[in-house]
């Protein structure tokens, strides 16, 4: 089976997670008027996101080398992406994050669709 699309998705997502948190803590990606609890919620995510990023890059490497650990790790990463996408969507919808501004709407929708869509695709391709 050709795993190239999954390797690309895993690599982009893994690097993207690192870049997101780098930007969040350096240039600031928070909305101007975030809802109550926003920073508490967001600050719970760097550790699991970094762990997921490492796992995604490790799975991508394993797939390129035909390693036996790559498929089960890819499935675990798919579950992680689905979980993070659903938790983020749940917070966003409950706290009006999609209504703050057009920029926040676009950023949040892209992140949520990426996590849910790519998590689903990884699951279906790697099962």
HSE (side-chain half, CA atoms, 13 Å) at 26: 6
Q: Is the entire prediction scored with pTM above 0.85?
A: yes
**pLDDT value of position 29:** 85
pLDDT of residue 88: 97
pLDDT tens for the chain, 127 residues long, are 799 999 999 999 999 999 999 999 999 888 888 999 999 999 999 999 999 999 999 999 999 999 999 999 999 999 999 999 999 999 999 999 999 999 999 999 999 999 999 999 999 999 9
Sign of CA dihedral 114, 77, 66, 60: positive
């Amino acid at each position: 089976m050709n795993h190239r699309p999954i390797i690309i998705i895993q690599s982009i997502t893994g690097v993207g997670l690192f870049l997101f948190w780098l930007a969040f803590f350096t240039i600031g990606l928070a909305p101007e008027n975030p809802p109550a609890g926003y920073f508490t919620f967001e600050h719970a995510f760097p550790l699991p996101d970094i762990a997921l990023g490492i796992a995604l890059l490790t799975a991508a490497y394993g797939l390129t080398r035909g390693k036996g650990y790559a498929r089960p790790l890819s499935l675990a990463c798919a579950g992680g992406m689905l979980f993070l996408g659903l938790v983020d969507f749940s917070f966003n919808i409950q706290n009006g994050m999609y209504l703050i501004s057009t920029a926040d709407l676009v950023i949040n929708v892209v992140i949520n669709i990426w996590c849910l869509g790519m998590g689903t695709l990884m699951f279906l391709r790697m099962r």
